[in-house]
């Protein structure tokens, strides 16, 4: 989302502990949009070995071997519901789970945040926002990206939680949440004021707890 300030991307790459990690972009949620793929390669190809996992025009017969060779799986934005349906058709959830167990970093933005949780807030079903309750469940609870970036996100998420939607995590645009073994271990940001939030129902009331992010500063231009 910020090609001129790639500090979040650099943060993800550093998690691998490698100077030039293998990073695979998964653009399923956008229908493998060519412009999105080009943007990914333009931003990361100078500091990582990049690859793309296309599923609408599938190029790899052995998805397991291809995925397990990667250091980072980076999932792009778009339709969370469509992403999940296509992944399940191709058997990818089980492959991604194995990759995570082997130490591969699973990352993403927007739908690429939503997909890893049990549930999420999505615009997959039309111009409005709606709950989605059949995420992969690699992380417990629910997710809401774009918390400060889209006018209706925060109110919708809080309203859903008030009605019994699973408690979960929200992230402002520019905020990254790091989970290890299902537990939140770090909150970072590419701009001042971008934070994460824990949203849950406590004694019948919605409680929003700010998770103050560490500002990573401005990175070098891509």
Q: What pLDDT sits at residue 222?
A: 34
Q: What pLDDT sits at residue 74?
A: 98
Kindly state the tokens that stand for 7: 């500090």
Largest CA distance in the chain: 51
How much is the CA Rg of the chain, to the nearest whole Å?
Answer: 17
Span(s) in the chain for CATH 3.40.50.880: 1-115
Beta strand segments in 72-189, E? 72-75, 105-108, 117-122, 130-132, 139-144, 168-171, 175-180, 183-189
Burial of 29 (0-12, 13-18, 19+ CB in 10 A): buried
Cα distance between residue 144 and residue 26, in whole Å: 20
User: Of all helices (H) and strands (E), which one includes residue 26?
Assistant: strand 22-26
Instruction: Supply the pTM of this predicted model.
Output: 0.95
Q: What pLDDT sits at residue 180?
A: 97
- CATH architecture group of domain 1-115: 3-Layer(aba) Sandwich (3.40)
- Catalogue the active-site residues: 110, 146
Q: What does the pLDDT profile of the chain (222 residues) look like in tens digits? A: 787 888 999 999 999 999 999 999 999 999 999 999 999 999 999 999 999 999 999 999 999 999 999 999 999 999 999 999 999 999 999 999 999 999 999 999 999 999 999 999 999 999 999 999 999 999 999 999 999 999 999 999 999 999 999 999 999 999 999 999 999 999 999 999 999 999 999 999 999 999 999 999 865 433
Q: What pLDDT sits at residue 4?
A: 83
């Amino acid at each position: 989302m910020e090609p001129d300030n790639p500090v979040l991307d650099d943060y993800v790459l550093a998690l691998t502990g490698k100077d030039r990690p293998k990073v695979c972009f998964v653009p399923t949620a956008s229908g493998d949009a060519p412009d999105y793929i080009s943007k990914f390669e333009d931003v990361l190809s100078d500091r990582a070995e990049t690859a793309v996992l296309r599923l609408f025009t599938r190029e790899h017969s052995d998805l397991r071997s291809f995925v397990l060779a990667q250091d980072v799986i980076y999932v792009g934005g778009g339709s969370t519901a469509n992403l999940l349906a296509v992944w399940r058709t191709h058997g990818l959830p089980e492959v991604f789970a194995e990759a995570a167990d082997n130490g591969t970093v699973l990352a993403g933005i927007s739908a690429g945040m939503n997909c890893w949780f049990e549930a999420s807030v999505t615009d997959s079903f039309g111009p409005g926002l709606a709950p989605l309750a059949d995420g992969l469940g690699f992380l417990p609870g629910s997710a809401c990206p774009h918390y400060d970036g889209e006018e209706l996100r925060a109110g919708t998420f809080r309203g859903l939680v008030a009605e019994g939607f699973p408690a979960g995590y929200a992230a402002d645009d520019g905020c990254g949440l790091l989970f290890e073994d299902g537990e939140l271990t770090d909150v970072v940001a590419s701009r001042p004021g971008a934070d994460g939030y824990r949203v849950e129902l406590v004694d019948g009331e919605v409680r929003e707890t700010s998770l103050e992010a560490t500002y990573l500063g401005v990175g070098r231009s891509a």
